[in-house]
Amino acid sequence: MKRVYLGEFEELVLITVASLQDEAYGVSIMNEITSQTGRNANISAIHEALRRLDAKGFVKSKMGGATAQRGGRRKRLFVLTASGRKIVDQTIELRVQLYNRVPGYSLKLS
Amino acid sequence: MYPRPPRWAVRFLHWYCNAELLEEIEGDISELFYQRLESGNPKKAKFKYIADVFRFFKWSNIKRTEHGFVPGSAGALWSMNFKMALRNANKNKLIFVLKTSSLAICLAFALLLTAYLVNELTFDKFNVNHERLYRVTSKVNFQDHVTHYAVTPLPIGQTLVEGIPEIENYFRFMYEDKPILRVDDRMFYDEVTLAADSNFFKLLTFDFIQGDAHAFGEPNKIIITKSLAKKLFGTVDALGQTIAFGKDNLLEVSGIIENVPSNSHLPFDAAISWATFDRDDSWGNLNAYTYVLLRPGVDLKNIKSKMPAVLATFHDLVAREYKATFEPIFENITDIHFSGTLDEDIAQKRSMNNLFILASVAFLFLITGLINYLNLTLAELTANLKRIGILRVFGGLTSGHKNAMLIETGLALSIVLPMVSILCYEGLTLANTHLSIHIDTAILLSPLFILSAVLFLILLFISTRANSYILSKTHHIINALKGTFSSSGNGLSTRKLLVATQLSFSIVMIALIIVIVDQFRFIQDSDKGFDDKNMIVIKLRSDRSQTMHTETFVETIRKINGISKVGGSTYFPGAIETKYVFEVETENGMEQRLVPMMICSNEYLDALGIKIEKGHKFDTGGSFDFNSFIVNEAAAKEFGWKDAIGRKIGGPVTGRGEAYMEGEVIGLVRDFNFASLHNAIEPMLILPATENWGYNFIYVKTNPLRPQDLIGAIEKEFKAQWPEHPFEWEYLDSKYLSLYKNDYEVKSIFQIGLVISILASCLGIFSISALLVTLRTKEMGIRKVVGAGSLHLFLLHANSFLKSLFISILVAWPVIWFLSKEWLKTFAYHVDLNYSYFILPGIVALLITVLTSAYHGIKNTMINPVDILKHE
C-alpha cells in the first residue's frame, strides 16, 4: 500500500475533526485547536488543511447549520471517513510503537 | 447600531472569491468577527476581519475553473486582453520590435540627457550647508578697468568673521596646480592639489572613509581621495602613510575621502593642510579662494552694509598703494558653476545656454519616441478595426478596448523598461569612456531625476489615452467592420500630423548639427594668429632647480635632428592667466593699467609664426635688448596708440620689486588668440626672458614626419638634465582644441541625437506609407486598370507626404533660428547664420521622405490589378 503522509498541522486538524464529532467546521476547529494546544491557528490555514484532507479522502463534508451570527450562511461540516479513521489510528499506533522503543529513563553513570 | 464588517472588504471578498467556497468562508469569518466583537473593541475586530479577507485571497480561492478563470469574471477579461496583446505582438513581429525598440532608444536617450542636465543643475547641492555657503570674490576697479578675480586677499576671511557677527565661519584654500608627490621611489604629478585650512572639510560636505578633519589643522597633513589612495598605495587603507612633497616635506595622510562628486565645482585629488606652508599673510597677497558660512536666516544685504566699515583699512590701503577700489562680491556656492569665468577661476563652468539647448533636445526626443509609439500603435489599431467592430456587435464596451490598450502598453513597457535601464547604464559608461563626460551613477537616484523619469512615464500613459480617444470616435460599428475609423476620416490626418512633428524635429537636428560643425570648422580654420601644427610643448616645474638650467636644455635639444625651432614662454592655452599693473604712456601722460603679460624667449615669436607688423624682435643682430616690450594690436588699440613703436612702458608696478623694468615698445605683433573663441582677444604685453623673469613652457617646433622618435630623443635629454623631474609634454594643437571640451560634449550628444532622430522619422514615414498602401490598394488597382503609369502612381503615393513635409519645414525654421542663435551667442567669434542652414536640412528631409516612402511606393506600382480587384 502506498503510504499517505500527513503533515503535522493536517494531523492536528484531522484529530480535532474526529474529536469534535458532528460540530466540526472552520471556526470550531480553530477554537478547539487554540484552546487545546494554545497555538494561534489562522482561519484560512485551517480551510486549506481541510481542503487537502478532503482531497486525500480522509474527511467528507456537507453543508448545514446556518446561524444568525453567520448572517444566515451555512457551515461546511466535516466528518471523518473510514480511511480517515484508519489513518488516525495508524498514526497514533505508530507513535506509541516508537515511543515504547525508547529505553526507560535511567542515569548514565560513567 | 451594531458594528458590521467593513463594506469594502466584503465586496472585495465577493469580487475575488470562488462562488462555491464563498458561503463557508464568509460565514466563518463573519462568525469570527462577531466573536471578537463580544470580547474586544470593534476597531480591532474590523481590522482582523480585513486581515482574514486578505488571508483568503489566494490562488485556491480565486474565481476560476480547472481550465482558467470563470467566464465573465474580471480575471478572465484581463487574461483575455493579455492573450490578445501577446497575439498582436506575435502577429506583427516587425512592428512590435520597431515600436518597442524605438521607444526604448528615445526614452533612454532622453533619460541620459536628463541625467546630464540633473548633474549640471545640482552642482554643489550635495553640500549640506549649500544655502548658507558663499564664495567671496574680488572686484577690483583699476582706472575704470574692472577686473573680477575669483581670488581674495589672504586675511579677508578672518577679518570678515571677526567684524561681522552674521558670518559664522570661513575657510580658504590655495590652488597648488599639480605638484610632484612621491611615494617610495614613484613619482606622481597629475593630481589636482589644494592647500586648504582645516575648516575646508568641516564646512564642505565630504564623506570620510578613514580618518577625519581634526588633525588637518596641523602642518604636514594631507587628505586624499579614494582613487588617489588606490593609485599611490594600491589600497584605500592608507591612513597614516607618508607622501613626500616638494624638497623635503613629508606629509602624513590624515584622512581618505570618497571621490569628489562629478557635480562639484571644485574637483581635486588631494588637499594639503594650510599650516604646512609659510604664507605671506598680508592684504597685498591676492591669492586665496575664500568661502564664508552665514548664520541661518541672515540676509545678504545686512552683511553688505557692514562690509565697508569692516574692510575700511584695506580699502584705504588699496586706494593709497594702487589707486584702485576693491569690492568683495558674495556668490552662493550653487551659482558658481553657471556664472561666467572670472580671473584666476579654477571652478568648473558651464553656460546656461548650452543646457537650455540640451534640455529642449531631451524634450524633443521624448516627444519623438512617443509619437513613434503612437503612430505604430495606431497602425496596428487600424489593422484590428474589424475585430473591434465584431466585439462591439456582440455588446463589448469601449472601456473594454481601453483596458485592452492599457494591457498592450503594459506589455510593451515590460520589454521597454528593462531595455531602457540597460541602455541608460551602458550609455553612462560609454559617455564616461568615449566622450569623457563624467556623471556619477548616484545621480540616477536623485529625486529630481526620479521625478522626471516618472513624468516621462505619465506622459506615455497620457499618450496611450489619446489613442483610446481616437478609438472612441469609432461610433459606427459598420465603419469599424469595414475597416475605417469613421465616415469623415480614417485616422490618417492624425498620423500625418504626428509624422510632420517628427520630421520637423529631424530638420531642427540636422540644421543644428550643420551649424555646430560649421562653427567647429570656423574654429579650426580661423586665423589664431599663430601656427600650432607640429608643436610640442614641454612643461617645466616652477621650482628653482628647473628654471636654472633652462637655457642649456634649450641649446641641447636645438641640436637634435628634426627640430627646427625652440622657444620658451610663460603662456599656455588653458593655463591661468595673470595680469599685472604697468605704467603706460597715453595721451594723458603715464597711466597705470592692468594688462596680461607674457614672457618669452627670443625665438618664441618666430617658432609660433606670430607675425610682426611693425618694428622688430627682441634680438637684433646679436645685441639683445632687455628693456624693451612688444605689444599686440589689441593693446595698441586699448591704449589709444596710433603708432606703438617708441612708446614708454614701465612695470610691473605690483609684484616683485626687483623685476621692475622700464623701456620702450620695439615691436607690434598681430593679434593672436591663445584663449578659446568664446572670449575676445585681450591686450597683451610681451617681455623678453631675463634672469628675473623665466618661462616654464618650452615650445618645440618639430619635423612633421617622425614626432614619436623626436619625443623620445627630447625625453632622453630632459632626463639627463633633470633626472628628478617628470617629463610632461603635449601637442599644442590638441591642447588648443581641448579648450572646447564643453562644446565637444554638446557636439557629440547632437551627433548621436541626429542619428536617432533620423531613424525615428524614417520609421514614422515607413509605417504611414505602409498604412497608406493598404488603404489605397483598391484605388491604385483601379487607376492602373484605367491606364495610369507606374511613375504617376508613385508620385501619387509620395505626394501625400510632401504636404506634411512642407509644413514641418515651415515649423522648423523659427526653432532653428532661435536655438542656433542661443548656441552661437556663447562664442565671441562665430559664423553668421545664412540661408543654407535653413535650406539644406529641408533638402535632406525631402530625400529621407522620398527614399523611405519609396519602398512601399514602388511595391504599390508593381501590383497586378487582378490580384486586388478579384475578390468581390
Taking residues B731-757, report their average pLDDT. 80
DSSP B487: S
**Nearest alpha-carbon partner for A62 in A28, A23, A29:** A23
Which of B23, B28, B34 is opposite residue A43, by nearest beta carbon? Answer: B28
The pLDDT value given to residue B467:
67
Of B75-89, B179-193, B472-486, B702-716, minimum mean pLDDT range: B472-486
How many angstroms separate the CA atoms of B661 and B689, rounded? 12
Q: Which chain B residues are closer than 8 Å to A74 by Cβ?
A: 23-24, 27
**What is the distance in angstroms between the Cα of A96 and the nearest Cα belonging to chain B?**
35
Check whether the bond before B573 is cis (ω within 30° of 0). Answer: no
Asked if A43 lies within 8 A of B55 by C-beta distance, the reply is yes
Residue B503 has pLDDT above 70, yes or no: yes
Rounded to the nearest angstrom, the gap between the alpha carbon of residue B6 and the centroid of all alpha carbons in its chain is 54
In sequence order, the 6+-apart residues with CB closer than 8 A to the CB of B509 are B361, B364, B750, B753, B754, B757, B758
The C-alpha atoms of residue B271 and residue B277 are separated, in whole angstroms, by: 12
Instruction: Give the ipTM of the model, two decimals please.
Output: 0.84
Residues of A in contact with B34 (CB under 8 A): 69
> What is each CA distance from B102 to B55, B422, B685, in whole angstroms?
43, 14, 57
pLDDT one-digit tens code per residue, A88-100? 888 888 888 888 8
* pLDDT for the residue numbered B626: 66
How far A16 CA sits from the closest chain B CA (Å)?
A: 17
pLDDT score for B569: 81
| Residue B421, amino acid | S
Say yes or no for a CB contact (<8 Å) between B28 and A48.
no
- Which of B23, B32, B55 lies nearest to residue A27, judging by beta carbons? B32
Residue B613, chain A, CB below 8 Å: the answer is no
Bridge-based pairing of strands B181-183 and B242-245 is: antiparallel
Q: Which residues pair with B252 in a beta bridge?
A: B221, B242
What's the pLDDT at A13?
92
Would you call B27 and A44 a contact, using CB atoms and an 8 Å cutoff? no
Give the burial string for B613-627 (b: 16+ CB within 10 Å, else e).
Answer: eebebbeeeeeeeee
- From B77's Cα to the closest Cα of chain A, the distance in A is 27
C-alpha to C-alpha distance for B258 and B268, rounded to whole angstroms: 11
Least confident of B97-106, B552-561, B647-656: B647-656
Say what percent of chain B tops pLDDT 70. Answer: 88
- Report which residue type is found at B583: E
**Closest in A43, A69, A73 to B52, CB measured:** A43
CA dist., res. A14 & res. B306, Å (int) = 89
Would you call A74 and B28 a contact, using CB atoms and an 8 Å cutoff? no
Looking at CATH, the fold of the domain delimited by A8-100 is given as Arc Repressor Mutant, subunit A (1.10.10)
Cell of B399: 472601456
Q: Which long-range contacts (CB under 8 A, 24 or more apart) does B86-91 make?
A: B86/B411, B88/B380, B88/B384, B88/B408, B89/B411
- Top mean pLDDT of B193-207, B432-446, B756-770, B778-792 is at B193-207
Cβ pair A69:B30 closer than 8 A: yes
Average pLDDT over residues B685-711: 75
Highest mean pLDDT among B250-259, B282-291, B400-409: B250-259
Phi first, then psi, for residue B91 (nearest 5°) are -70, -45
DSSP H helices, B526-577, are: 544-548, 550-558
The CA radius of gyration of chain B, in Å to the nearest whole number, is 37
- CB within 8 Å: B24 and A26: yes
Residue A76: name the closest of A24, A31, A29 by CA: A24
**Helix B312-322 vs helix B300-310: angle between axes, to the nearest 10 degrees?**
60
Closest residue of chain B to A68, computed from CA coordinates: B31
Task: Reply yes or no on whether the pLDDT at A106 is more than 60.
Answer: no
B23, B30, B56: residue with CB nearest A44: B56
The pLDDT of residue B656 is above 50: no
How many Cβ atoms from other residues are within 10 Å of residue B213's Cβ?
23
Taking any CB pair shorter than 8 Å as contact, residues of chain A touching chain B are 25-27, 30, 42-44, 47-48, 51, 63, 66-67, 69-71, 73-76
Please report which helix (H) or strand (E) contains residue A85, including its range: helix A82-100
- SS3 state at B299: coil
A110 pLDDT higher than 60: no
The verdict on a CB contact (< 8 Å) between A48 and B34 is no
Across the interface, whether the CB atoms of A27 and B56 are under 8 A apart is answered: no
Q: What is the CA radius of gyration of chain A?
A: 17
Distance CA B415, CA B205 (A): 40
Q: Is residue B492 within 8 Å of residue B767, measured between CB atoms? A: no
pLDDT at B501 over 70: yes
Write out chain A residues lying below 8 Å of B23, CB-based. Answer: 63, 73-74, 76
pLDDT band at B366 (very low <50, low <70, confident <90, very high): confident
**B666-687 per-residue burial string, b: 16 or more CB within 10 A, e: under 16:** bbbbebbbbbbbbeebbbbbbb
B18 interfacial to chain A (CB closer than 8 Å): no
Helix (H, G, I), strand (E, B) or coil at B440: coil
Quick one: pLDDT band at residue B55, thresholds 50, 70, 90? confident
Residues of B with Cβ-Cβ distance to A25 under 8 angstroms = 24, 28
Which amino acid is present at B140? V
Query: What is the DSSP secondary structure assignment for residue B549, as one 8-state letter?
Result: T
CB contact under 8 A, B27 and A47: no
pLDDT attached to residue B291:
92
Q: Which of B145, B176, B151, B273 is nearest to B219 (CA)?
A: B273
Judge whether B28 is closer than 8 Å to chain A, CB to CB. yes
CA-based nearest residue in chain A for residue B38: A69
- Nearest Cα neighbor of B672 from B736, B576, B580 is B736
Whole-angstrom distance, CA of residue B822 vs CA of residue B357: 8
Q: In this structure, what are the phi and psi dihedrals at residue B493, rounded to the nearest 5 degrees?
A: -60, -40
Contacts of A40 in chain B (CB under 8 A): none
Which residues from chain B sit within 8 angstroms of residue A65, using beta carbons? Answer: none
Q: Do B52 and A73 touch (CB under 8 A)?
A: no
Contact assignment for B28 to A42 by CB distance below 8 Å:
no
Query: B433 touching A, CB under 8 A?
Result: no
Overall residue count recorded for chain A in this entry: 110
Q: How confident is the model at residue A78 (pLDDT cuts 50, 70, 90)?
A: very high
Nearest of B867, B847, B865 to residue B798 by alpha carbon: B847
Name the DSSP class of B65: B
- Sequence letter at residue B701: K
Q: How many CB pairs under 8 A join A and B?
A: 55
User: First CA to last CA across chain B, in angstroms?
Assistant: 72
Across chain B, mean pLDDT equals 80
The residues spanned by each domain of chain B are: 7-62, 133-332, 352-523+740-869, 541-724
User: In chain A, whose CA is at the least distance from the CA of B27?
Assistant: A70
Candidates B2, B10, B23, partner chain A, best to mutate (most A CBs within 10 A): B23
Residue B810 to residues B161, B360, B516, B673, B691, Cα–Cα distance (Å): 60, 19, 21, 39, 66
Of A42, A47, A71, Cβ closest to residue B25: A47
Of residues B668, B583, B586, the one with CA closest to residue B634: B668
The Cα of B76 is separated from the nearest Cα of chain A by a number of Å equal to 24
Nearest alpha carbon to residue B646 among B615, B617, B619, B605: B615
For B604-629, the pLDDT digits (tens) are 888 888 888 887 777 655 555 667 88
Whether B24 sits inside 8 A of A25 (CB atoms) is yes
Q: Residue A73: its chain B contacts at CB < 8 A? A: 23-24, 26-27, 30
Q: Do A48 and B60 touch (CB under 8 A)?
A: yes
Q: Are B727 and B538 in contact, with CB atoms under 8 Å apart?
A: yes
Q: Averaged over A49-76, what is the pLDDT? A: 86
Contact A69 B24 (CB under 8 A): no
pLDDT band at A1 (very low <50, low <70, confident <90, very high): very low
CB contact under 8 A, A69 and B60: no
Contact A71/B56, CB-based, under 8 Å? no
To 5 degrees, how large is the angle CA B647–CA B649–CA B654?
A: 165
d(CA B291, CA B169): 9
Q: Decide if pLDDT at B286 tops 50.
A: yes
| CA pair distance B347, B339, nearest whole angstrom | 10
Measured distance CA(B613)–CA(B666) in Å, rounded: 11
Please, what sign has the CA dihedral across residues B278, B281, B285, B287?
A: positive
CB contact under 8 A, B31 and A69: yes
Q: How far is the alpha carbon of B31 from chain A, nearest alpha carbon, in Å? A: 5
Confidence grade of residue B859 (pLDDT, cut at 50, 70, 90): confident
**pLDDT at position B68:** 63
Bridge partners, residue B585, by sequence? B590
Q: Quick check: B155 pLDDT over 80?
A: yes
DSSP one-letter string for B721-734 = H-TTS--EEEEHHH
Is the model's pLDDT at B270 over the cut of 70? yes
Residue B857 CA to residue B796 CA, distance in Å, equals 9
Can you name the residues that pair with B65 across neighbouring β-strands?
A: B68
Where does the pLDDT of residue B701 fall: very low under 50, low under 70, confident under 90, or very high at 90 and above? Answer: confident
State the DSSP code for B688. E
Q: Highest mean pLDDT: which of A12-16, B452-456, B592-596?
A: A12-16
Least confident range of B282-296, B355-369, B420-434, B466-480: B466-480
Buried/exposed B545-557: b ≥16 CB within 10 Å, e otherwise: ebeeebeebbebb
Instruction: Determine the distance in angstroms separating the CA of B34 from the nearest CA of chain A, rounded to an integer.
Output: 7
* Percent of chain B residues topping a pLDDT of 90: 2
Contact B276, B195 (CB under 8 A): yes
Alpha helices in B435-446 (DSSP H): none
pLDDT of residue B749: 79
* Least confident piece of the model among A58-72, B291-305, B383-397, B425-439: B383-397
Kindly state whether B30 is in contact with chain A, defined as any CB-CB distance less than 8 angstroms: yes
Question: Residue B487: is its pLDDT beyond 50?
Answer: no
Cα distance between residue B486 and residue B780, in whole Å? 22
Is residue B20 predicted with pLDDT exceeding 50? Answer: yes
Best of A23, A29, A35, A44 to disrupt the B interface by mutation (most B CBs within 10 Å)? A44
* Nearest C-alpha in B relative to A47: B25
**Residues A50, A11: contact at Cβ < 8 Å?**
no
With cell 447600531, the residue in question is B1
**Across B260-374, where does the E strand assignment appear?**
270-273, 286-294, 324-332
* Alpha carbon distance B568, B599 (integer Å): 8
Closest residue of A to B55, CA-based? A44
pLDDT bucket at B16, cuts 50 / 70 / 90:
confident
Query: Is B23 near chain A, with CB under 8 Å?
Result: yes
Q: Which amino acid is at B850?
A: V
Residues 6+ apart with CB under 8 A from B870: none
Q: Would you call A47 and B56 a contact, using CB atoms and an 8 Å cutoff?
A: yes
Percent of chain A with pLDDT over 90: 26
B310: pLDDT strictly greater than 80? yes
pLDDT tens by residue, B467-476: 666 666 655 6
